[in-house]
Structure 1
Amino acid sequence: MNNDRRRFLKTSLLGGAAVAAGCTPEAATEAEAKAEAARPMSILILGGTGFIGPHMVREALRRGHEVSLFNRGRTNSELFPDLKLFKGDRNSGLQSLEGGKWDVVVDNSGYVPRQVEDSARLLSSVVSHYLYVSTLSVYAVSPAPITEASPLATMEDESGEEVTGETYGPMKALCEQRVMAMLGADRTTVLRPTYICGPGDRTDRYTYWPVRTMRGGEMLWPGTPTDDIQIIDVRDFANFTVDCLEQKIVGTFNTVTPMRSFKMGDLLQDSMAVTGADMTPVWVDKEFISENEVAEGGGLPIWEHPDGEYAALSSVDGSRATAAGLKNRPTRETARDTLSWWKNLPADRSDKLRAGLSADKEAELLRSWHEKNA
């Protein structure tokens, strides 16, 4: 008897027993889903050693699943020495994956539509479920709130392969479409995360705020304390990813903190609480920020200008993911653990933040602000 047949009989018997015991058909279906979720799976992760990948790997292993990786073996190559690594470059070929078979695949490293289409084509016959990690950047400029049905960004030349600030979103949208076309809606999950943050974040976009707070003194804060922002802790994102695999949750989901539940003032309070620093916040209005182009080049990460092109990205409806099981931990826990991780980094990494205002630029802006308001 093959594995698929055993699985069918197992879940059918469990579901039938639930109905016989007086459960509703809905409860029986839930029992089947839980039985399926308890079965160890073979998971292939494309990527797996960057920022979000290791959290997914650890969570999947913690739940008893078998994990294999496909990557170039360059980024954090010392991680997971006991896992099977299929070495390869998505741009030059997927030969190392040929002949393999897995239950599910998680695509963390797909940015170019051609490459994603190639992987989806190769794996469509050897996996039952394809989960693609996308981004909120797929959305076109549109009024808030953004939902999964909001218009997507497009690009004139869909064959283009250069990833830039302008093409990143449209290319990820095309990648989503290629996966869906290859595997169908009943075998595809698309996750659209906002700013992913937490221990291991290589961008420092969220990390900037608690780390800068730790330095103390006057600190420039943009807009007002009531300006909405949205994030997702990398561990919550990883947990939801594995939930989707275990329960075969398909469809498209915005993965964010609940809309209008987290504001710049909350980020400030979290940063103060976990650092205990003697920091004086200076709230600088949006007009000053525009006049001085403060937000350009990642100077004020996470915060979106309320009148800016991307303001709606701070008002994203994540209720669909919440209903499917996404659970967001308290934001203060994210701040605490991010700061703890940062403090244990080697000096050559923690000497300079990769996002946010430099000390000199911030001091210059604060002088200008005080002069303007003298």
Structure 2
Amino acid sequence: MRLLMLGGTEFVGRALVEDALARGWDVTVFNRGRHEPPPGATALVGDRTADGGLEPLATGEWDAVVDTWSWAPVAVRDAARLLADRAERFVYVSSASVYPLPSAPGNDEDAPVAQGSTDDAGADDYAAAKRGGELAALGAFGDDRTVLVRAGLILGPHENVGRLPWWLTRIAAGGRVVAPGPRDLGLQYIDARDLAAWTLDAIEKRLSGPYNLVSALNHTTMGELLDACIRATGSDAQLVWTHPERILGAGVEPWTELPIWVHPGEFHDAMHNTNVDRALATGLRCRPVDDTVADTWAWLRAIGGRAPQRPDRPSPGLPPGKEASLLNP
């Protein structure tokens, strides 16, 4: 199988490339050359946002293209149009964010989606940008040759957004740790490696259409996730479970200052109550939370304890002052 990966050196793209290489696929990686691709991949260097930046892709044929682009949809449009006659299938890694709020709990792939445009040269609205990317892929390859991977929260080794790495680092430091409740709050996420495995399987099976790609309902809970962090790090940290109203009353921002966590309500229902029957029916398998956490900790230690951070995303984490105010009312 010949795979063209647009991106492929950091988080999700890296997981896809490593899995494809392990399957014996012929993998070509196209990006700006800021990071080395995994050994065994052929590298093409170009900036898809610059005039003439797609020139390295002017020749070549592939069985599938995978694109993880998160910014202006015109970049997806231009690449997809260029490749439509020389690649059999196009996989666009989109986002569950294409479903606008408020969204009904249990949304499936037929739920209403955000407005988007293939001609949008900006990316101020993430949902609109991802929907525009979807439309760009569909416009070039058609419904039958396009797979839309609507991923939810993505965790795992090589995470460059900092959510799980922050929790692991904080818990490894020990002491009393603010644990946002309730303890049994259900979580849905996907390990980047499980996303990669399903995506490559989808290419082999010649699937098409949109798929919500995240774990099954209540795959884990906030309590199980933080307990797994304690086990992985061997920490003596004490989790201090704190009511959501107290956290919000202290001015703490869910999701950013307490990564992964969002308080019960509309946003939580949208993120952690997604219907994934279609993906499960086509073979999605999600590893246990302990495996994701332990492997992320092992990777974090191997790189010196400091995770890379995407420049377009704010560094997450609870400021010490806010943590102290919650722990010492």
- TM-score (structure 2 length as normaliser): 0.91
| Counterpart position of 1:104 | 64
In the alignment, does 2:284 pair up with 1:326? yes
Higher gyration radius (CA)? 1
In the alignment, does 2:33 pair up with 1:73? yes
Question: What is the aligned counterpart of 2:76 among 95, 113, 116?
Answer: 116
Mapping of residues 361-372 of structure 1, within 5 Å? 361-367=322-328, 371=329
Secondary structure of the equivalent of 2:220? Answer: coil
- Deviation of 1:258 after TM superposition, in Å, equals 0.6
| Counterpart position of 2:311 | none
Cα distance in 2 for residues equivalent to 1:332 and 1:217: 21
**Any unmatched runs of 5+ in structure 2?**
309-313
Contact 1:224 1:285 in 2 (8 A): yes
Contact 2:159 2:307 in 1 (8 A): no
The sequence identity of aligned pairs, in percent, is 36
Question: What is the aligned counterpart of 2:16 among 51, 56, 72?
Answer: 56
- Deviation of 1:211 after TM superposition, in Å, equals 2.6
Contact 2:118 2:136 in 1 (8 A): no
Cα distance in 2 for residues equivalent to 1:80 and 1:280: 39
In the alignment, does 2:317 pair up with 1:356? yes
| Counterpart position of 1:137 | 97
Go from structure 1 to structure 2 and tell me whether the alpha carbon gap of 1:163 and 1:347 turns closer, same or farther (over 3 Å shift): same
Go from structure 1 to structure 2 and tell me whether the alpha carbon gap of 1:72 and 1:280 turns closer, same or farther (over 3 Å shift): same
Go from structure 1 to structure 2 and tell me whether the alpha carbon gap of 1:202 and 1:163 turns closer, same or farther (over 3 Å shift): same
Mapping of residues 300-315 of structure 1, within 5 Å? 300-309=258-267, 311-315=269-273
Question: What is the aligned counterpart of 1:235 among 180, 184, 193?
Answer: 193
Contact 1:230 1:302 in 2 (8 A): no
- Return the letter of the residue paired with 1:148: E
- Deviation of 1:122 after TM superposition, in Å, equals 0.9
Go from structure 1 to structure 2 and tell me whether the alpha carbon gap of 1:61 and 1:348 turns closer, same or farther (over 3 Å shift): closer
| Counterpart position of 2:111 | 150
Contact 1:103 1:127 in 2 (8 A): yes
Contact 1:221 1:283 in 2 (8 A): yes
- Deviation of 1:186 after TM superposition, in Å, equals 0.9
Q: Could you list the per-position Cα deviations for residues 302-344 of structure 1 after superposition, in whole angstroms to 9, with x for gaps in the alignment?
A: 1122135454211111221111111101110111111111112
Secondary structure of the equivalent of 2:200? Answer: helix
Go from structure 1 to structure 2 and tell me whether the alpha carbon gap of 1:227 and 1:80 turns closer, same or farther (over 3 Å shift): closer
Which structure features the higher share of strand residues? 2
Cα distance in 1 for residues equivalent to 2:259 and 2:166: 8
Secondary structure of the equivalent of 2:164? Answer: coil
- Deviation of 1:252 after TM superposition, in Å, equals 1.0
| Counterpart position of 2:216 | 258
- Deviation of 1:245 after TM superposition, in Å, equals 1.4
In the alignment, does 2:164 pair up with 1:203? no
Contact 2:165 2:307 in 1 (8 A): no
- Return the letter of the residue paired with 1:223: G
- Deviation of 1:158 after TM superposition, in Å, equals 7.4
Cα distance in 1 for residues equivalent to 2:77 and 2:274: 28
- Deviation of 1:104 after TM superposition, in Å, equals 0.8
Question: What is the aligned counterpart of 1:178 among 129, 136, 139?
Answer: 136
- Return the letter of the residue paired with 2:225: L
Structure 1 vs Structure 2 CA RMSD: 2.2
| Counterpart position of 2:123 | 163
Cα distance in 2 for residues equivalent to 1:158 and 1:354: 30
- TM-score (structure 1 length as normaliser): 0.80
Contact 2:178 2:240 in 1 (8 A): yes
In the alignment, does 2:103 pair up with 1:127? no
- Deviation of 1:176 after TM superposition, in Å, equals 0.5
- Deviation of 1:361 after TM superposition, in Å, equals 2.9
Count the aligned residue pairs.
322
**Any unmatched runs of 5+ in structure 1?**
1-40
- Return the letter of the residue paired with 2:179: W
Larger CA deviation: 260-269 vs 296-305? 296-305
- Deviation of 1:292 after TM superposition, in Å, equals 2.3
Identify which of structures 1 and 2 has the higher relative contact order when contacts are C-alpha pairs closer than 8 Å and 6+ apart: 2
Cα distance in 2 for residues equivalent to 1:257 and 1:242: 17
Cα distance in 2 for residues equivalent to 1:211 and 1:348: 9
Cα distance in 1 for residues equivalent to 2:167 and 2:11: 19
Contact 1:42 1:66 in 2 (8 A): yes
Mapping of residues 10-89 of structure 1, within 5 Å? 41-74=1-34, 76-77=35-36, 79-80=37-38, 82-89=40-47
Question: What is the aligned counterpart of 2:184 among 210, 222, 226?
Answer: 226
Go from structure 1 to structure 2 and tell me whether the alpha carbon gap of 1:348 and 1:356 turns closer, same or farther (over 3 Å shift): closer
Go from structure 1 to structure 2 and tell me whether the alpha carbon gap of 1:304 and 1:296 turns closer, same or farther (over 3 Å shift): closer
- Return the letter of the residue paired with 2:59: G
Contact 1:104 1:130 in 2 (8 A): yes
Secondary structure of the equivalent of 1:206? Answer: helix
In the alignment, does 2:246 pair up with 1:288? yes
Cα distance in 2 for residues equivalent to 1:325 and 1:131: 17
